[in-house]
Structure 1
Amino acid sequence: MTTTDTDVLSRLRTELASVRPDIAETAPADATLKHDLEIDSLDVLEYVARVEAAFGLVVPDEDWQAVATLDSLAAYVTAHRTIP
């Protein structure tokens, strides 16, 4: 994992903790959002909005289906973001 990926993953964890304070900012990168971390659909909506704002991107609904873990989301953001 590159420094950029690590920075992105750290920011994703921070945004996740803002939505779900009960989830530690050290949540495993390979944890699935819905199953392992038990994030419900309302929390996902808020998390999506925070991630999009934090990284200056819009993630289409169909892409959110493919990013099941923090790792896969970090890779997606790194590849698509407009804010460094």
Structure 2
Amino acid sequence: MANTTDVSGKIIQALADYLKRDAASIKPAHHLREDLGLDSMAVIEMLYRIEEAFNLQIPDQDLVGLTTVGHVIDYVQGRVAPTPAKSAAKGTTKTPAKTTAKAVAKKPTAKRSTKSKKA
């Protein structure tokens, strides 16, 4: 449900707050360590804040690929985006239930026609 600008805005604002900088000075192309000056502990702390902000967990093996602000934004968008897909999947779950209800409704009709043929 979160759109692209919400995700990138929250991430950039979190970085700006942490670095005590203006959010407009932080760009997706900035490298977390080289351009923004974050050491490995600061990167981990920032990612922890992002986990809390978006209510997700970033597995350790995924940390290696998160080197720029843009990588972090893309990663979080990819993790947040499946939520609408799950809602759509729930919608599809309801559809077979309706189909089943229709099939059940048809069965009594079929029985009635069978009985009327016997009579």
- Give the aligned partner of residue 60 of structure 2: 61
Distance in 2 of aligned mates of 1:20 and 1:83: 30
- Give the aligned partner of residue 16 of structure 1: 15
Q: TM-score, normalised by structure 1?
A: 0.82
Q: TM-score, normalised by structure 2?
A: 0.60
Report the AA paired with residue 13 of structure 2: T
Where in structure 1 do 4 or more consecutive aligned residues deviate above 4 Å?
Answer: none
Report the AA paired with residue 73 of structure 1: V
Mapping of residues 1-84 of structure 1, within 5 Å = 4-21=3-20, 23-26=21-24, 27-81=26-80
Report the AA paired with residue 22 of structure 2: A
Q: CA deviation at 1:54?
A: 0.4
**SS of aligned partner of 2:49:** helix
Higher relative contact order (CA 8 A, sep 6+): 1
Greater C-alpha radius of gyration: 2
Q: CA deviation at 1:83?
A: 7.7
Equivalent pairs, count: 81
Distance in 1 of aligned mates of 2:46 and 2:53: 10
**SS of aligned partner of 1:66:** coil
**SS of aligned partner of 2:74:** helix
Q: Answer whether contact 1:55 1:83 (CA < 8 A) is retained.
A: no
Q: Percent identity?
A: 30
Q: Which stretch of the first structure deviates more once superposed, 51-60 or 61-70?
A: 61-70
